[in-house]
Structure 1
């Protein structure tokens, strides 16, 4: 835990007692603040009370007594309208901040200069965050990984009062968290990409991009993707302002960048006055199985640039990339049964997400279906040639079968366990050199599972069962 000592002896309001909210309340109490916490959920209130957190209905509060409202990132700050607690705080002139802001202020208070790498973007930020943390850990650095990726930032190990450079905080930041962190000032700020997202919470794409820009604009050193117009504009703005910034590029034509992904490799592209563009090969991503696919090129380029900034040698970065295991449910390679590779991409809950996995493999025995999203899978039609056969599950199975008719052989399996068995059977009989059983459902999970994690765990369990059967048979014969 990171105690928030800079608020010792002061009263704060806190709304939202989920995972990060409860961690925040405990960190504030540990630092000596007087916490008045509330939530709209009776279950959350009961849990917080059992943890010894002081509860007070903020509807009835004297807001002049508070120095800040600590707002959970899930509660709207501005759109579609401010949460009632935010409206009350604003009316009383009380600053509204979040847990990332508390970390930044505590960092400035007790450990100025503590290294912090903050990562944001619409897509790929969890993979990039985990990859950076893995590379640094592999190089022997004390890494604290948290934020939007899972562990609340205030649940990490404390900021060091001495030898502050020995512990690096690697933090994934959502737009909601950035919006509540006006003092966010990472040592290295990474902005991967921007596409329309969460506009119900930010109002317009312009607002969304402005919030994301704050992270890199306030950083000591910025890494910015150049593959979309929004990020390209931010990159050019930072360059004009004289900010220390490098670009990364994946698909944008002729984007001169410090680290680019092209034809499966990371390379450096730069130009000197009067000379042609110079190039330097940095790393072959074919040596990093968990970073398969063009979409991981941008993630790897960002991680390379960030770790290089922290002083790691190129061979150290490459070694970390080779050993990166990937994230659970995101093109997670479970194992092999003979020549068949099993991949868990349960996080792909829509067609756009499934597209990345389909692009990354050939000879795919595709498990898809669940609770369909708008648009179905028709947008994936250009990739149908990569699919050897589809195994369909859940409510979407009939509609997906209709879309695939005449283009892809398919089998309506109903349940995931039936689909895994059928796909494993047919993949093993394939003549392809590396058939892939791929769970990338292009659907939500909640027709049969509570969430995509439960669906992915079920897939993993079934595959590991198949691998265990293979091991037993091998031992018998």
Structure 2
């Protein structure tokens, strides 16, 4: 835990007592703050009380006594309308911040030289965060990883000189962190997302841009129009900007050409790393993630050799193009995190002979946007509520069956793939759907896929063959 010592002796209100909110409340108590915490869920309030967090109904509180209001990132700050606690804080002129801001203040007070890499973007945040942390740890550095992935940021060890922090930041967290100042800030990409919480795409982009704007070095993906504008603006303001692209040469910056990753400066390019035979980082989207990791790790002092070693040993993240195992030449891949068509596209673009398991609770638009990848699909195995509509979209273009359940789909897809003589067959779970019709969440769905694959027999768990 990082005790919130910068709030010692101060009256602090906190709303939102879920996992990260409760951790934040405990950090405030440990740091000596005078806390009043609350939640709209009575069970969360009682749990906090039982764990030693002072609780009080903030709707009845005297807000003039508070110096700060800590808002959990899941609670609406502006859209679709501010939460009632936000209105009370605004009316009293109390600053509204979140846990990432608290951590930023602790770092500034205790160890401002502690390297901090902060990552945001619409897609790829978690993989990039985990990759950077893995590279640093593999190189022998003292590493703490958290934020919007894994551990809540205030549960990490306190800032100390030489301790490296790798923090994934959602737009909600950035919106509540005005003094966030990373050593290296990464903005991967921007596509419409969370507009119910930010109102417009422009507002969403402005919030994301704050992370790199406050960075010592801004690492910005420039493969979409929004991030190009942000990179151009920051360079115009004199910021230290490194561009990255998975599509074309950029300068100054890093770009991908197939599996080769290059640096380009003053018109000269040189290869700095390779993704050849790195199965956990297949696809252009992962090339972007790797480029960001390279730029950030070089910024905090790693060598190219240390970075390449970390890339080659990166195991990947569960449920995100996770290599489950092999049966001969057949690879089984768990991409359960792909809960809509846009999220499924990277996996479909990464393989040429796919036995595709798709379906679940359908999202608006279905799989219409995946037409460019239909030629890669040897056969589709459709499950859940989306099966009839997906079948109608696939039509005569793709051979398919309605399998109904994931277990049946795995059994049938495995049998067909094992009879494929191309040497490139992949059984891919990339559902392009939510899981809630058959599973509690995408993690449970992915776990069920993994268990079904490993139960087939003669499957070599991933990690040996790439």
* Corresponding residue number in structure 2 for 1:142: 142
Distance 2:368 2:121 in 1: 26
Distance 1:398 1:205 in 2: 33
Query: Deviations 1:393-440 (Å, cap 9, x if unpaired)?
Result: 101111111211211111111111111111111111111202101000
CA positional deviation for 1:325: 0.7
Judge conservation of contact 2:355–2:413 (CA < 8 Å) in 1.
Answer: yes
1:325 paired with 2:341, answer: no
1:10 paired with 2:15, answer: no
1:192 paired with 2:188, answer: yes
* Corresponding residue number in structure 2 for 1:234: 230
Query: Deviations 1:277-306 (Å, cap 9, x if unpaired)?
Result: 211012221232111001111111100000
CA positional deviation for 1:270: 2.1
CA positional deviation for 1:239: 1.4
Distance 2:240 2:322 in 1: 35
CA positional deviation for 1:237: 1.6
Distance 2:459 2:216 in 1: 52
**Mapping for residues 118-267 of structure 1, pairs under 5 Å:** 118-160=118-160, 164-165=161-162, 167-251=163-247, 253=248, 255-267=250-262
1:70 paired with 2:70, answer: yes
**Mapping for residues 28-427 of structure 1, pairs under 5 Å:** 28-160=28-160, 164-165=161-162, 167-251=163-247, 253=248, 255-271=250-266, 277-427=267-417
1:459 paired with 2:449, answer: yes
Distance 1:266 1:357 in 2: 20
SS in 2 for 1:368: strand
CA positional deviation for 1:44: 1.3
Structure 1 293/177 Cα, relative in aligned 2: closer, same or farther at 3 Å?
Answer: same
Judge conservation of contact 2:249–2:255 (CA < 8 Å) in 1.
Answer: no
Structure 1 193/377 Cα, relative in aligned 2: closer, same or farther at 3 Å?
Answer: same
SS in 2 for 1:466: coil
Judge conservation of contact 1:417–1:459 (CA < 8 Å) in 2.
Answer: yes
Distance 1:327 1:390 in 2: 24
User: TM-score scaled by structure 2?
Assistant: 0.97
Judge conservation of contact 1:58–1:85 (CA < 8 Å) in 2.
Answer: yes
Runs of at least 4 residues off by over 6 Å: none
CA positional deviation for 1:224: 0.9
Distance 1:282 1:407 in 2: 41
* Corresponding residue number in structure 1 for 2:463: none
CA positional deviation for 1:197: 1.4
Distance 1:4 1:378 in 2: 49
* Corresponding residue number in structure 2 for 1:474: none
**Mapping for residues 438-453 of structure 1, pairs under 5 Å:** 438-453=428-443
Query: Deviations 1:305-344 (Å, cap 9, x if unpaired)?
Result: 0001111111110110011111110000011112111000
* Corresponding residue number in structure 1 for 2:464: none
Judge conservation of contact 1:249–1:257 (CA < 8 Å) in 2.
Answer: no
Distance 1:255 1:139 in 2: 28
Farther off after superposition, 199-208 or 371-380: 199-208
Judge conservation of contact 2:326–2:459 (CA < 8 Å) in 1.
Answer: no
Distance 2:83 2:199 in 1: 15
Distance 1:406 1:206 in 2: 40
Unaligned runs of 5+ in 2: 461-466
Judge conservation of contact 1:37–1:53 (CA < 8 Å) in 2.
Answer: yes
Distance 2:434 2:225 in 1: 30
Distance 2:346 2:252 in 1: 23
CA positional deviation for 1:453: 0.7
CA positional deviation for 1:157: 1.3
Determine which of 423, 441, 444 is the counterpart of 1:433: 423
Structure 1 46/28 Cα, relative in aligned 2: closer, same or farther at 3 Å?
Answer: same
Structure 1 246/86 Cα, relative in aligned 2: closer, same or farther at 3 Å?
Answer: same
CA positional deviation for 1:386: 0.5
Distance 1:34 1:151 in 2: 24
SS in 2 for 1:352: helix
Distance 2:152 2:24 in 1: 8
Distance 2:329 2:27 in 1: 50
